[in-house]
Chains A and B, each alone.
Chain A
């Protein structure tokens, strides 16, 4: 540090720090761009492949997984197949795990397990190691699913974390956390909620939100969107 305190540091002069030259990107974003560009140069895939996969992954929804659950609620035979062979059951909702994007490459490990809730058991999924997620059938993870906060706390304090999502379950309901740490991928099949008698598959699909399929929410008639977590505004935002 300089000992020269004679010059004015801008006290009372409305000094503004220099505006950043570029929007900030994270190390991982820079790494992704570098690896992607090298892969294209090397011919592992083309820019066209990448664009198609990105569009596929970002526009997935209402998720095929939601339709799978809705179908299973309506058809006990199909439900059995979901519980015994998730990969085969995915075909009925238009997802071929071996060729999810239509250009040949499996985009994930291909062992889907469907976790069936009961009135006395509720499942919730986390990957404590990273963010393993059944992408071919459920799209990309929400940001919170990837955060160390969710990953570290859910396994140890599941009831507190679920309460933060607005889900409080009585003590007689067993909460079963599934830590998705290997090649299996998981979705939760919630109990069909009351008030949906006579509903069509399309109607049921709408209430099986992504949050329900991860297990941080329960389906409810009229609730068709995921939770909006509060965003805290930056206290010291960058000046542009």
Chain B
């Protein structure tokens, strides 16, 4: 039952990311939201993914965001921070999406299909079980992910270099 306050906190922090004028405040709110999500993963007994969320997301990706925000020395957004109102189609599509999402949420809330969580094995979410699946059933995505990370590293070094003389 402690899921509900933490979920409400995550939603409030996500709204703070989107509605804030200062990009540093948005980044700090996003770090808070990721930590809250790590707590929810831990409640779901997915301990490996919870630790990975903290290490990868809050520990590496958000630090990269902070580096770039401070490198570019971004201040508060001057003037209006929202899209200019001349694009009526964009505003209409956004409104339709939000209203449709809200309708679907209320529709789902009025139906009770899933009951409480069934008991899972003790090894659910442990490193051993996920590692075994990762290296037997999912070894191909694992290797492809390593190639993807190598390509990303090479691309970043090439993109961020100064002009080659």
Please say whether chains A and B are actual partners in one complex.
no
Taking Cβ atoms with an 8 Å cutoff, the residues of A that contact B are none
